[in-house]
Amino acid sequence: MSDAKIRRPKAETPKGFRDYFGPEVTERKAMLDAITGVYHRYGFDPLETSAVETVEALGKFLPDVDRPNEGVFGWQDEDGDWLALRYDLTAPLARVAAQFRNDLPAPYRRYAMGPVWRNEKPGPGRFRQFYQCDADTVGSGSVAADAEICAMLSDALETVGIPRGDYVVKVNNRKVLNGVMEVAGVLDPANPDRFAHERGIVLRAIDKIDRLGDDGVRALLGAGRKDESGDFTKGAGLTEHQIGTIMTFVSANTAIDNMVFESSQAAAPSHIREMSHSPEFRNGVACLYLETIVGSSQIGLEGVQELKQIADLLQTQGYGADQIRIDPGVVRGLGYYTGPVYEAELTFEILDEKGRKRQFGSVAGGGRYDDLVKRFTGQAVPATGVSIGVDRLLAALRAKGRVGGASAGPVVVTVMDRDRMADYMAMVADLRNAGIRAEVYLGNPKNFGNQLKYADKRQSPVAVIQGGNEAEKGVVILKDLILGAQIAQNATLEEWKDRPAQVEVPRADLVAAVRNMLGQ
């Protein structure tokens, strides 16, 4: 067979996909194992669904187009049915909860972790396959289930290495917004379908607060907004009065901060002034404020009540309001959720790509979604859960220096004499049997320099050398590669003499001497 005739395939990861090497795999695994440990202690059971679902079950069917390629990777099976890779871990959970509803415990607490796939335009740091790590409780309408998820999220963050003070779990409630909508006259409890169009615009506008600011949101609530490119987005057409009401919710955090600030001023009663700096005080003020803005709306008051209950439950369990905070500023995904929503934010500062300081930001989010299982069964099944952004949390741990410390490279036994491979393999066997990571050099042994370069690439802490002379004397030479590197960089002659980076020891003492060199 002549090679020239064959067109060689390109050795390339498909666009938007990537491979993970060595420490990238072990560091993520260590983090997920730690999180799993917390989930397990909370009574959550693992679930691993298949990567492939029917497009129908995922809820992504587009009968008008040839292929349902909106956001998912899909294909047609031999029977003509469309299948697709899952795009998150919640849709498969809803399918499982419906499919196995007679067998699963009720409520069903489950965690899941694994890759999900998105057929979206890849970009810097945006991949088409990435990890999620979810925990959900299906079948409980109790706010205790929401509080539990918040507590578990807090425990998980501290367990992986984000200390108290460097994170906050912020809790909001979709029902409070519904209450405000009722007050503003865009939600009629007696006729829920009315004003649905306007509410859609309101939700989408609020979701964009970070990007558009107060003025942009106000414009979208009113007549509409022209963006920089000149494109006009039609607004919800609310009156100034209605807009003002909605904005009491959008700008709640500013209002609450002002109230807390006033309480700390000289004009405030002294016992209020003293309390005003505690996180618990802010939570109380937040509830008071929200109670005010939802007026007499039943759903709104229920939402505030739920927030209070969550705060109380968590306080009884020993969580401070610095760890878990009532925060009406959590807007993400308000459209999707039906009750409490929560988001974990890391509050320490990092330098962004332009060297500017900024807060690390959100690493997890979730909330209550009571309608997902209903899609399959027709029966409402209350559910609440959280999804941790695995890559973002891992990036945070790296930024804090919590992962990737000591070299985990193997001891490398070099090959001086190709015919004595059995001797070298016996050495690595001895080291491994003592629990020490070790390998023999398996490349072409002719050039010894290449062997040391290999050891360097492997981040090996120790190289073992035995030539003919050493074999005759029954000894081996150990080269301390970490110390060697340090000495080469900055040792004085005295230090060099005092701490030799190379020792000769009897073959029988190999394991003990390596252990000693490794500081074990």
Contact call for residue 451 and a second copy (CB under 8 A): no
Amino acid at 331: V
Contact call for residue 448 and a second copy (CB under 8 A): no
Amino acid at 286: A
Q: Name which of 377 and 469 has its Cβ closer to a second copy.
A: 377
Whether residue 227 is annotated as binding a ligand: the answer is no
Which of 35, 118, 133, 148 binds a second copy (CB under 8 A)? It is 148
Which of 35, 90, 95, 281 binds a second copy (CB under 8 A)? It is 95
Contact call for residue 13 and a second copy (CB under 8 A): yes
Whether residue 90 is annotated as binding a ligand: the answer is yes
Q: Name which of 109 and 218 has its Cβ closer to a second copy.
A: 109
Q: Name which of 422 and 493 has its Cβ closer to a second copy.
A: 422
Contact call for residue 77 and a second copy (CB under 8 A): yes
Separation CA 433–CA 2 (nearest Å): 47
Rounded to 10°, the helix 22-41/390-399 angle is: 110
Which of 40, 226, 358, 398 binds a second copy (CB under 8 A)? It is 40
SS3 270: helix
Separation CA 427–CA 511 (nearest Å): 9
Taking the complex as a whole, how short is the minimal distance between the CB of residue 442 and a second copy, in angstroms?
4
Whether residue 128 is annotated as binding a ligand: the answer is no
Amino acid at 417: D
Residue reference for tokens 């110390």: 483
Taking the complex as a whole, how short is the minimal distance between the CB of residue 377 and a second copy, in angstroms?
7
Which of 5, 14, 266, 354 binds a second copy (CB under 8 A)? It is 14
Closest by CA position to 138, among listed 109, 98, 102: 109
Contact call for residue 378 and a second copy (CB under 8 A): yes
Taking the complex as a whole, how short is the minimal distance between the CB of residue 351 and a second copy, in angstroms?
27
SS3 363: strand
- Residues 337-376, one symbol each (x = binds a second copy by CB under 8 A, - = not), give --------------------------------------xx
Residue reference for tokens 């927030």: 307
Separation CA 199–CA 181 (nearest Å): 8
Which of 42, 336, 348, 448 binds a second copy (CB under 8 A)? It is 42
Cis peptide before 107 (omega within 30 of 0): yes
Q: Name which of 222 and 335 has its Cβ closer to a second copy.
A: 335
Separation CA 134–CA 114 (nearest Å): 9
Question: In whole angstroms, how far apart are CA 420 and each of 415, 440, 471?
Answer: 8, 12, 10
Q: For residues 440 and 427, is the Cβ–Cβ distance under 8 A?
A: yes
Q: Name which of 69 and 305 has its Cβ closer to a second copy.
A: 69
Binding-site residue set: 88-90, 118, 132, 136, 332, 336-337
